[in-house]
Amino acid sequence: MTEPKTHTLEVPGATLAYDVREAEEPTAPALLLIGSPMDASGFATLAGHFTDRTVVTYDPRGVGRSRRTDDTGPTPEAHADDLHRVIDALGGAPVDVFASSGGAVNALALVARHPEQVRVLVAHEPPLAKVLPDRDNALAAVAGLRQAYEREGFGAGMVRFFTLTGHRGEFPAGFADLPAPNPADFGLPTHDDGSRDDPLLGQNLISCIHYEPDVEALRAASTRVVIGVGAESEGEMAHRGGVGVAGLLGTEPVIFPSNHGGFLGDEFGMPGDPDGFAATLRQVLGG
């Protein structure tokens, strides 16, 4: 596999940056590794496990090197259109996609719109509140998180994000009103710098978690859609979202090693089990 070569692509409302690692003799379709709002840097370890394929990573609009050029807030549909254009720029042939978290939400939107572009989608832990049996309480918890961010800034919002995503089981009524930990205990700032443009809390949180997958389109798609969940994240919202989507599609989720970020090496100091994760992903992609 070659070193990653960076390309840019002008799309409506953004300039996207994406990286291509060319395989000398690819044995399968190109593999896209995508997250949201996580950028390409989070997939370096996983990409190294697929040297027999051309691997493509990218920074979603408004994140990392991909600049927004208008004020339109990113939505799963907008991200899906971006991915559609990146695949076109690669030549348009069907690709395989591994998508994590918000990236899994965006990839479900991509397949619903452009199934001809994706041979296999592995959507790992899409954090979708509306597929949960406790959807109303979950949505209220997310709304409370967003309100804390708007009212108090990044540290206050992020500590509530950790509390929400780490909660196991159904959300009780009034979850958003529970006392929040001190941001300083998590190494987060306690001072509000006045900004409200964080890619996660400000740009993508609401539209991502509120997205409702087009189940009819996904079931009719030529794409083989596989939902993945983490062995160590059972009961967490994103794991439960994956289970919920799989149920709507009439399939069983595939259990991947480790947790929500099980594919990570030491990119962010929170390694999962990238070797085991990559082995499972390779098996799933092979069908």
Instruction: Summarize pLDDT for 123-137 with one digit per residue, the tens.
Output: 999 999 999 999 999
Q: How far apart are CA 126 and CA 237, in angstroms?
A: 9
CB 52 within 8 A of CB 26: yes
Which tokens hold the place of 71?
């004020």
Is the four-CA dihedral 209, 210, 216, 218 of positive or negative sign? Answer: negative
**Three-state DSSP class for residue 48:** coil
Q: How far apart are CA 257 and CA 231, in angstroms?
A: 5
Threshold 0.95, pTM exceeds = yes
185-195 average pLDDT score: 95
Residue type present at position 150: E
123 phi and psi angles, rounded to 5 deg: -100, 110
Instruction: Summarize pLDDT for 70-123 with one digit per residue, the tens.
Output: 987 799 999 999 999 999 999 977 999 999 999 999 999 999 999 999 999 999
pLDDT of residue 71: 84
pLDDT of residue 1: 67
Which tokens hold the place of 227?
């939902």
For the chain, the average pLDDT equals: 96
Does residue 2 have a pLDDT over 80? no
Q: Give Dmax over CA atoms of the chain in angstroms.
A: 56
* CA separation, residue 1 to residues 5, 20, 21, 26, 45 (Å): 11, 10, 6, 9, 13
**Could you give the count of Cα atoms lying within 13 Å of 218 in the half-sphere of its Cβ?**
24
The domain limits of the chain are: 5-128+213-286, 135-206
- Class (C level, CATH) for 5-128+213-286: alpha beta
- Whether the link from the prior residue into 37 is cis, omega within 30° of 0, is yes
Q: 129: Cβ–Cβ under 8 A, 6 or more apart, which residues?
A: 135, 138, 139, 142, 209, 210, 237, 241
